[in-house]
Homo-oligomer: A and B are copies of this chain.
Amino acid sequence: MQPFDWNLVRSFLAALEGGSLAAASRETGVSQPTLGRHIDELEKSLGVTLFERGRQGMLPTKAALHIAEAAREMKTASASLSMAAEGDAGSVCGTVRITASEIVATYLLPAILADLLRDLPEIQIELVASNTVENLLQRDADIAIRMVRPTQNDLITRKVGTMEMGIYADRIYIDRHGTVTDFDDMADHVIVGYDRNDLVIRGFAQLGFKVDRNFFRFRCDDQVTAFEALVAGTGIGFAPRILTRRHANLVRILPDIEIPGLPMWLTSHRELRTSARIRLVNDYIGDRLTELELG
């Protein structure tokens, strides 16, 4: 059994995930002809057809999907390896890549990062605002701040507080449509909500209120946009209480309804704890987030 060229696996994964050689080429920076040759070679050395090519992009065969799992394991292990090495390199200067939910990245982190950049002059920051859970094991980011506790192993997680939520509307909206004194009144109002995230719906279910998607008359994928819509007087909506303090015109509605708060988790790969640089940033952000008055 002679081993195959491990680099071919990287090209294979890129093609599989990109859906086409062209996409993979854009993603990886490797030229499209090279990627094509890599796939050819991998197919030859494994004796298996991996893609039906042509038409529109490359269509993975069953064999390709079968192989994919092991290929991702290789990628994960390679990321572990470079992380382990990074720890040994142990330099404090360089880039740290952070991912956070849209709300946190937009409204909470900038102030903290501004101070961090001032206090740690050798460090550069990349901030990715995204609600999709990046894969820390494959090092899509060094540090993640999320509202759900990560399930992957080998991650170091620290709870940095709970974001208390409330129901709010802008005074403009209240003046125009009257206030809400009872939960049942809300059926007559414009409710602002997120399109994809069913967190709020489940939250209501916990409280005994049955609502579905149609409960929200104004829906929006983007949490930041939804919050700004709330501030602009579009309707009634749910918002982290810490954000509403900055807007004097936001009025709390039905303060008696207890909405479960969102826990905030700061996460990084265990290997990264051996990297002085990332540990530094991790601790800095963690401390600052913990200090915030989230209630």
Complex CA gap A212/B62 in Å reads 57
Known contacts A63-B88, A73-B76, A73-B80; can you find 12 more A-B pairs with CB under 8 A? A1-B97, A3-B82, A6-B9, A7-B7, A47-B91, A48-B89, A66-B85, A67-B81, A67-B84, A67-B85, A74-B78, A74-B81
Would you call A219 an interface residue if the criterion is a C-beta within 8 Å of the partner chain's C-beta atoms?
Answer: no
A85 touches B6 (CB 8 A): no
With A47-B89, A91-B47 given, is the CB distance from A6 to B70 under 8 Å? Answer: no
B6 touches A6 (CB 8 A): yes
Chain B residues in 8 Å Cβ range of A46: 82, 85-86, 89
Would you call A201 an interface residue if the criterion is a C-beta within 8 Å of the partner chain's C-beta atoms?
Answer: no
Would you call A158 an interface residue if the criterion is a C-beta within 8 Å of the partner chain's C-beta atoms?
Answer: no
B66 touches A87 (CB 8 A): yes
Complex CA gap A50/B83 in Å reads 15
A84 touches B66 (CB 8 A): yes
Residue on B nearest A91 in the bound complex, by CB: B47
A95 touches B1 (CB 8 A): yes
Would you call A4 an interface residue if the criterion is a C-beta within 8 Å of the partner chain's C-beta atoms?
Answer: yes
Complex CA gap A89/B64 in Å reads 11
Kindly report how many copies of this chain are found in the complex they form together: 2
Complex CA gap A9/B78 in Å reads 9
With A7-B7, A10-B3, A73-B73 given, is the CB distance from A62 to B88 under 8 Å? Answer: yes
Complex CA gap A71/B7 in Å reads 14
Chain B residues in 8 Å Cβ range of A87: 66
Complex CA gap A86/B66 in Å reads 11
With A67-B84, A88-B48 given, is the CB distance from A6 to B3 under 8 Å? Answer: no
| Chain A residues numbered 36-88 whose CB sits less than 8 Å from any CB in chain B | 46-48, 62-63, 66-67, 69-71, 73-74, 76-78, 80-82, 84-88
Would you call A17 an interface residue if the criterion is a C-beta within 8 Å of the partner chain's C-beta atoms?
Answer: no
Would you call A195 an interface residue if the criterion is a C-beta within 8 Å of the partner chain's C-beta atoms?
Answer: no
Would you call A5 an interface residue if the criterion is a C-beta within 8 Å of the partner chain's C-beta atoms?
Answer: yes
B48 touches A139 (CB 8 A): no
A48 touches B1 (CB 8 A): no
Q: Which of B7, B48, B76, B84 is A85 in contact with, Cβ under 8 Å?
A: B48
Complex CA gap A76/B95 in Å reads 30
Complex CA gap A69/B87 in Å reads 14
